[in-house]
Amino acid sequence: MKNHSSPAYQGAELFSALVFICAMSAALMYTICNSVVFQTTCIMTALTFGIYMVFYALRKKKAFAFFAFLACFFVVIVAFSVFVRISRASPINFLFRASEYYDPFMAAAFIPLFSFIIGFPTAYFSVYLPRPAFLLLPAFIPLLLAAKTANGLPAGYVIFMAVGYALVILGVSRPEFPKENVYFDDKKSRFERIGALGIFGLVTAVVIYCVPRSAETPLGEYLDNAFKVRSTFFAGNGLSNFTNSSSVNHGSNVLSEDVLFYASADKPMIVSRWFFDEYNDDGHWSAHKDYSTGWTNWRTYKQNLNTAVLSSKLRLAADGGKLSEYAYLLKTLPKIPEEYYYYTRQMRIYIADGSNTRVVIHPNMTVDVNIRGYDEKIYRTLMDEMFTDRNFGQNASYTLSYYDQTPNEALIYLFEQVDMEELLSAAQAEGVISEEEKEAFLSERDQALEYRERTRRMSISPEIKALAQDITDGLSSDYEKAIAIEKWFGEAGFVYDLDFVPRETNAEYFLLRSKRGICTDFASAAALLMRAAGIPTRYGEGFVLDADNLNEYGYYAVKAADAHAFAMGYIEGYGWLEIDGTKYAAVAGEEEDNSIIPFILLIIAILLGTLAFIFRDKLSEAIFAVGICFRSDSGKIRAVYLRTRKLACKIADKEPKSTTSKEVRGIISNSLMLGEEAEEITSCADALFYNGTVDPRAGKLYADYKKILKMKRKMRK
């Protein structure tokens, strides 16, 4: 006769499991937290072994272990979500490019997740259902990440993993079959093993196919040929020459992590690529032919457009008794030492994606360009685009000089009060500024006003005009209007969301209905609102030099994912000012933080309540044990007796209030064979309740009660 009862597993060797867990933790942390590998390995080993020990302790309570698994998994996922939200980094970037940077919040998110992924399977396949082959599965995680990110695991880590695996196989739990078993059929577990391996193989293939990789991997050429996956963003994957139309957001944007160029700069900023003039109803911007012609004699013109120098010269003139008609206003202007008049900052750009382009990427207020190995003409358009006669070489490098100026609100306010042409003409006549400086500022002003009149004829919907009026109501300065429009995107609850798929691509849909989109949506909306408010405005696309991409050599690694769109409005007294509505918008996921916190707290409360209910007996005993320490001797006698009476009545299925101390003593003596302990507790209680005397044995009663409780659990009464 066949007996199909399952075997019992009495537990695995803990030391071997610890070595295996430490090996897995070290390999993983080497891959994703390389700069702090020792510290993070210690943390992950401790956390993973703790998870392992939770399930090891529950090895004889498999049903309860299932609920513990759900609870632990829920806590890990909540912790992962919280730390990912706190961090500004992308989980995918951190996981597959962490050798380039370290983010503590991302580490705090991934370490518990990986600890659970390794800790639970190690317990399950070495204790619950010993399957040595399945213990190899956690090893695939660091091996896969290593193949995708760096130069593979060092030999020492691989040997450590092999030793850990060998030890855990030797230390797995051994099955104990009931003596009456004649035959044990394990077909079910074989099917489970084959199915799990098949699923794991499929998941591994999908992961290898889909995940990004670092360019430094030694398997790069093979992976490129075997898995030809390239992600694209709205700005494309490379630096190219000028395009005819702007990008449009169709949703579900995939960020490419390919580095396009490296840039050295003193601080994060936006660099320009190209600009557009005409807005189409489908969301595209196109370039107007009248603004696409470049000129070569732009350097002197641009060098004279230094508002800091102009402000200081006007202030010094007023202090010296000149320009007396404007002196009361000019004395509000700041002044700078003359040696800083024409100070420029330097930016170096190194193209890294193999491009051979004519487009010169540059910051606002660039005054000079020097392209290494290129001696021909460099052109600049009225739209501030820069390009060359011919492609200036693959992976070329060039140096840019630019004025780093913040808006001088005093100078901007000055030109709101007086006529710019009259003031500059008077300044030239009195020798305060040169004719070239006057002509440069007036020429830029006139070009901006002409541009405003040309673009004003382009249609802007009545809804956008009304919205612009509402945002700028009561403001007279173009500068104040532009800043109000920029900040309004944050005040009105707009959300920057790369994954949002819009039903329509026009600005009205974004502004009035969805309020979700990417930088192209924000830039288009800001440009149209500013034009509706009477400000000369153009739409631009370029890149952000993000502080998160600053490498150890002081260069910003600019990727296709850093492509950015923005608006530029002309402000008298400053020039062309960048307006970026995304600065104040919430990022998708972050805007729900406040609303999700109560939900998370509710779930945690439910979880804690459930655990308190499951462990109610142990929790009650723990509270009783703490409380008994602070009671008087009479209080200890009363508490221990009532607790013992309740326990005895539970054994005998009686009502506590109607049970005498003699009956309590009899139940404990007969059921648990602890008559001496029961007698001490009940006699002390009788002396207190009937005579009011406190027996000197009061301090010993809790120890008697613990013996009774322990025996009850042992005998499962």
Of 235, 216, 265, 351, nearest in space to 546 by CA: 265
Write the CB contacts of 26 (distance below 8 Å, at least 6 apart in sequence). Answer: 37, 41, 45, 157, 160
Structure tokens at 85: 């939200």
Structure tokens at 412: 């901007």
Distance CA 460, CA 531 (A): 9
Check: CB of residue 275 under 8 Å from CB of residue 603: no
Check: CB of residue 520 under 8 Å from CB of residue 247: yes
Distance CA 111, CA 40 (A): 8
The strand pair at 495-496 and 586-587 is best described as parallel
Structure tokens at 107: 């580490």
Distance CA 274, CA 241 (A): 9
Amino acid identity of residue 690, one-letter, is Y
Q: What are the 10-residue block averages of pLDDT along the chain, 717 residues in total?
A: 48 81 88 80 91 84 76 80 69 59 76 87 82 79 70 75 82 60 47 55 55 42 36 46 75 75 91 90 82 86 90 90 90 77 86 88 93 89 89 89 88 89 93 93 93 84 92 92 94 86 85 89 94 94 90 88 92 93 81 50 66 74 84 88 88 85 88 88 89 86 88 74
- Please provide the DSSP assignment of 277-330 as one string: -EE-TTS-EE--GGG--EES-HHHHHHT--HHHHHHHHHHHHHTT-SGGGHHHH
Distance CA 123, CA 138 (A): 12
Write the CB contacts of 613 (distance below 8 Å, at least 6 apart in sequence). Answer: none
Neighbours of 536 (CB within 10 A): 23
Q: Which residues pair with 379 in a beta bridge?
A: 387
Q: Which residues pair with 350 in a beta bridge?
A: 262, 397
Distance CA 477, CA 472 (A): 10
| Diameter of the chain measured on Cα atoms | 118
Identify the residue whose tokens are 């929790």: 619
Check: CB of residue 545 under 8 Å from CB of residue 605: no
The strand pair at 516-517 and 259-264 is best described as unpaired
Structure tokens at 188: 């079910």
Check: CB of residue 384 under 8 Å from CB of residue 272: yes
Torsion of CA 498, 503, 509, 512, to 10 degrees: -80
Structure tokens at 384: 């501030």
Distance CA 585, CA 457 (A): 30
Check: CB of residue 396 under 8 Å from CB of residue 372: yes
Check: CB of residue 242 under 8 Å from CB of residue 387: yes
Distance CA 34, CA 98 (A): 7
CA 310, distance to chain mean position in Å, is 43
What does the pLDDT read at residue 390?
87
Check: CB of residue 468 under 8 Å from CB of residue 478: no
SS3 of 368-425: the string is EEEECCCCCCEEEECCCCEEECCCCCCCCEEEEEECCCCCCHHHHHHHHHCCHHHHHH
Distance CA 118, CA 111 (A): 10
Indicate left, alpha or beta for 127 from its phi (over 0: left) and psi (-120 to 50: alpha): alpha
Amino acid identity of residue 530, one-letter, is M
Structure tokens at 193: 């093993």
Write the CB contacts of 216 (distance below 8 Å, at least 6 apart in sequence). Answer: 99, 149, 150, 151
* Residue 245: DSSP 8-state: B
What does the pLDDT read at residue 389?
86
Over its C-alpha atoms, the chain yields an Rg (Å, rounded) of 37
What does the pLDDT read at residue 408?
86
Q: Where are the domains of the chain?
A: 8-224, 269-570+577-583, 615-715
Question: Cβ-count burial of 579 within 10 angstroms (0-12 exposed, 13-18 middle, 19+ buried)?
Answer: buried
Torsion of CA 195, 199, 202, 207, to 10 degrees: -160
Q: pTM score, two decimals?
A: 0.54
What does the pLDDT read at residue 254?
67
For the packed helices 701-715 and 633-652, what is the interaxial angle rounded to 10 degrees?
20
Write the CB contacts of 179 (distance below 8 Å, at least 6 apart in sequence). Answer: none
Q: Which residues pair with 261 in a beta bridge?
A: 351, 558
Structure tokens at 183: 């035959």
For the packed helices 462-471 and 478-491, what is the interaxial angle rounded to 10 degrees?
100
Check: CB of residue 31 under 8 Å from CB of residue 146: yes
Of 523, 520, 521, 508, nearest in space to 567 by CA: 523
Of 680, 657, 653, nearest in space to 667 by CA: 653
Give me the sign of the Cα torsion angle 538, 542, 548, 551.
negative
Distance CA 51, CA 24 (A): 14
What does the pLDDT read at residue 567?
95
Distance CA 453, CA 381 (A): 18
